Structure formats: C-alpha cells, structure tokens
Chain A
Amino acid sequence: MPPAPRLRLTLAAGLLLLGPLLGCATPPPASDPDAVADFKETNDPLEPTNRVMYAINNGLDTVILHPVAVAYRKVVPEPVRHGVHNVLSNLGTPVQLGNDVLEAKSRRAGDTTMRFLINTTIGVVGIFDVAKELGYPNHDNDFGTTLALWGVPEGPFLFLPVLGPSDPRDAIGHGVDIAGDPFTWVGQGAAVTALDWSRYAMTAVDERERVLDAIDSIKKTALDPYATFRSLYRQHRKAQIRAARDDNRATIPIWFPQSQPASSGKD
C-alpha cells in the first residue's frame, strides 16, 4: 500500500487531537459585549496555536513551495501547466462523483461522469477539457461540502501544518476524501508509490502556482495576513457550499417531453 495518503491521514488525525492541548485564546471580558460578539463570530478559540502553525507553514512555504511554484511557472509554458492542471483535476473525478451522489445532486453527478468519460478518452487522459466545451462544466466538490449539506456545523477555525487553513469539518472531509479515493488503494509496489507521491507533489505545486500572485498581494497588503487568510478561507468555503446547495437543476429523462427553461439549455 502506498504510504503517502496514510501518512497524511495520520498526520491530520494526530493534529486534531494535539491542537487543543497547545494553547487557547483568552476571550474578552463580558463587560464589553461588542468585543464578545466579535470573538464569537471570529470563532477561533485556538488562535495562538493556529498562529504558530501559520508561522511554520509560512516559513516552509517561503523556502520550499513558493520557490518551486515560481520555478514551475518560469520553466513550464502556460499551455502545458494548463494540461497538467486538467490531468490532476481529472484524477479527482471519482471522489468528486462520490460526493455529488452523497449530496443527491443528480445533475452534478451526471456532469462529473460525462467529464470523466469524455476527458479521459477524447481529452487524452484528461489533458484537454473537451467536456467543458460540450456543455459539462466543472464544479468543486469534496466531503467537507457534503458534510455541510448534511447539516454538520463547520466548528472553530484550524490552521493545519502543510494543509493550511481548515476547520474540523473540512479536516475530517479531507481525510474521508483521501480514504475514499480509489487511487489511494489501487495497485502496489514502488512504481505505484512513486506515482502517488508525484500526484500529491504535483497537486501542491499546481495549486500553489495558481495562487502565486493572489497570495503575494495579500502578504503585501494585509496588516494581519493570518486574519486575512482566515477570512478568505471561510468566505471561499461558504461560497463553494452555497454553489453546491443552490445547484438544483432538474433531471429529466431523455424520453420524457423536455420542458424548455427560460434561458436556453446550453451553457
């Protein structure tokens, strides 16, 4: 069995247990109701620990991931990077489909299935996103989103080493996604292990390269980058969850008289 995903699972689980022991934020005095309301809304009781994790991550990023992402952007031309991104995204479709089904989002599940079939074949193992042109757009999905749609609350903010900003719901979701990924369990031997590791490494580099400019500009402009990342992470997750929740396109069997929606069906 490849050790990479298991290691990440253990790491995430271990940190969840360890986190609360390290340090807690002091709530403001009850005499200041506005400050108390702010404190509750920020919902970051582990802030001191989280800030330490942020500092460690930031340090690692500065010496490892950031330079690698910059080099990747410099050396590899845009169309190739785009293809790499598409391949990685295509490898994520089984997990995506599983979550579409668990969320009972039939049209999304259909989109994901068609994307996998079309892009793996016509799109040459996912290099070209042909499915998008044919009317099957991509969407984000993961088990954290599924849990949210099931009504699980997000819980307090967490900053995890290596994995970055998160919360208990997303940390558990991340673990479940890895455990539920067929590629985690398929095959064995040195070659498979190497492939697994390369996939994780490439995903990290690809994701980092895509946000190079955004993160640089945040670090340059924010007075408190940690608080800014915390805010951005939560807002972004909320938007992803909202998009999943609001995607209630009807599924009409092909043999059934198709109703014509107000806007043309193609998009």
Chain B
Amino acid sequence: MLNRRNALGLLSALSVGLTVRAQAASAAEAASSFVKTTGDRLVAVVNGAGSLDARRKALMPIIDSTVDVQGVARFCLGRFWRSATAEQQQQYTQLFHGVLVGNIAVKLGDYRGVKFTLGRAQDRDDGELVSTVIERPNNPPATVQWLIANAATDPKIVDVVAEGTSLRVTQREDYASFLTHNNNSIAALIDAMRKQVSENS
C-alpha cells in the first residue's frame, strides 16, 4: 500500500529527478550557446582583416577568457605535476599558455573562409560535450566537439575533441613520452617548451 510517507517520498524523489533533468537540459543549452558565441568570435577574428600576426594577437584575449588554461595545463602534465616543484609548476603553466596560443594559431593557420555549424550537446561526467562541424578551405569538413565545464555558472573550454581525438589527451601523451625519454626531467620539458614558444612568436 502506498501510505502518505511513501507517497511524499516518491513525490520528492520525482521532483528531485525532474530538477536534475531540467538542470541537465539547461546546462546543455548554456554550453551550446557558449560554444556558439565563442565560435563566432574566433571565426570573426580568423576570417577578419589584418595580418596573421595581428589576428593571432586578437585570438589571445578570446582564449584567455574562454579556456581553462590552468586546468588543461595541469591535466597535460599528468602524474608529473606532483613531482614538479612549485616554481616549475608556475613556469610550466605560463609556458603552456604560450604553447597553446601558438598551437591554435598554427592550427587555424592562414585560412580565410572558415565556417562552423553547431550540432547537438550531450551530457558527460566531466561536463557538456558540444558538437560542431568546422569547414576550412582545402580541408574535408571535420567534426569537432568542445568539452565545457561549469556550463551553467562559469563555462570554460577544458577539451577539444577532433574526429574522436582529444587534444588534451594527445598533448599529455606527447609530454609523457618526452619526459620518459628525458629522464623524467621537468626542467628539460620546460626548456623544450621555452624553445617552442620563442620559435612560434
């Protein structure tokens, strides 16, 4: 028999369930609109007037305000983060920012006429995954997914998944392999990154 207490319990469980679903839906919506706005800003800069250098500079503030650089940097160092000194962690994070901006500039290249279409968003444990299709001249259309953390409150890009390959996972394996072949020396990694940043700018 369904007594009053059970009924109340059921009702509250139902309402909690509904709220959670509603929150998930609004998080997905918030993530989608965040990706749309950010994508439009990026495309406007890439397709805009000005030299490659000027456009690269214009990308910087967008990246700073939309990417969780600190979080991604930490993720990419993986287990080596713990073995780094506080000073190394700080140097590394700073250089990572420079490398990231340089890499994005290389990836976007000197393209004009980049187009992007927003797809559906799906809920994941670590955030909202928003799908887009990016078309660049001379290249086949690419499915790119954006992983957005804290979509409802303070949305930040934490990963970009291109054709099923996660940028941060790939970067972490690149660093891990470099470190394994350099006696796990974080100083060596920092040197290599410094060189990369100075070559790119």
Q: A residues touching B (Cβ–Cβ < 8 Å)?
A: 34-35, 38, 42, 73, 78, 210, 213-214, 217, 220-224, 226-228, 230-232, 235-236, 238-240, 242-243
Contact = CB atoms under 8 A, between A and B. Distances in A.
Interface of A is mostly: helix
Contacts of A223: 174-175, 178, 189, 192-193, 196
Interface of B is mostly: helix
17 contacts: A35-B180, A42-B177, A213-B109, A221-B102, A221-B103, A223-B175, A223-B178, A223-B189, A224-B178, A224-B181, A228-B173, A230-B173, A231-B174, A236-B164, A238-B164, A239-B163, A240-B164
Contact of A210 (B140, B169, B178): B140
A154 to B, nearest CB: 15
A231 B170 contact: yes
A228 B168 CA distance: 11
Among all A-B residue pairs, the 8 with the closest Cβ atoms: A239-B164, A227-B177, A231-B173, A235-B165, A223-B178, A224-B177, A221-B103, A231-B170
Contacts of B136: 213
Interface string B154-186: 000000000111100110011111101100100
Contacts of B140: 210
Contacts of B4: none
Interface residues on B, range: 20 to 34
A230 B184 CA distance: 20
B103 A228 contact: no
B86 to A, nearest CB: 20
B101 to A, nearest CB: 11
Given A223-B174, A227-B178, 10 more contacts: A35-B180, A42-B173, A42-B176, A214-B139, A231-B173, A231-B174, A232-B165, A235-B164, A239-B165, A240-B164
